[in-house]
Amino acid sequence: MHIQGKTILVTGGGSGIGRALVLNLLNRGANVAAVDVHETTLQETKQLAGTFSNKLSIHVVNITDLHAVSQLPQQLIDAHGAIDGIINNAGIIQPFVKVNELTMESIQKVMDVNFYGMLYVTKTFLPELLKRPEAHIVNISSMGGFLPVPGQTLYGASKAAVKLFTEGLHSELRDTSVRVTVIFPGAVETNITQNSGIAMPVQSSDSAKKFNMLSADGAAQDIISAMEQNKYRACIGTDSKLMDFLYRIAPEFAAGYIAKKMASLLK
């Protein structure tokens, strides 16, 4: 779907990849509705939009609140006239602990934001998207959605649910005007730990080697390109592409490799 002149909803638009998506979409000629639970960061995104701010609407909404999400379609139609696409980007990670030490509260929170929030937005906007001559749904999964990452097992399970839901939705919508893409980012420079309300574990000097992370802007550009090319799936970042290949040919080896990398974080 060519995005110029289209109206795109972006969840988690107040920071990280979400903010980068908003700004890149505006620069490419789209109208954007940015959704986030934090009003302050949404206002910052609007300021960063500069001369494009007149094409941006901001909406303070908790996507885990189905009633609040149900009000969004009319708000976007009032602001922009129509809605042509959604990018379900909002997400959080879990505390860096094993499942046995993870609280049920943390489990519920991760599933609510990462899966049910995505589901609520998709289900609510799908009737409107089906009315458009062309439309697109992009759901952000994770490299952890196809590859097990110890210490992020529930996060991975939520993103695996996003993966299979999106793939199933793609099959259901094959004969409609709505295209569907699932995205698997690897390591990206964002403030997701802060937004998730958790702290990074203390690493030893040997294990604290900096990951070669992709910038949020670079990730956003790749995601938008995948959207415009109507891709079925897209791995974002060299690490995601590499592990996607490795996990396909040697899943147990790939899982063991990641487990060794994560071992120091779980001591």
120 is catalytic: no
What whole-number distance in Å separates Cα of residue 169 and Cα of residue 179?
9
Distance in Å from the first CA to the final CA of the chain = 46
Strand order in the sheet with 85-88: 56-60, 31-36, 7-11, 85-88, 135-140, 178-185, 233-236
What whole-number distance in Å separates Cα of residue 211 and Cα of residue 202?
15
- Residue 139, strand partner residues: 88, 182
Which residue of the set 120, 155, 247, 257 is catalytic?
155
Q: Are 117 and 11 in contact (CB under 8 A)?
A: yes
Phi, psi of 90 (to 5 degrees): -55, 135
CA-wise closest residue to 109 among 175, 63, 151: 63
Report helix, strand or coil for 84: coil
Provide the annotated active-site residues: 155
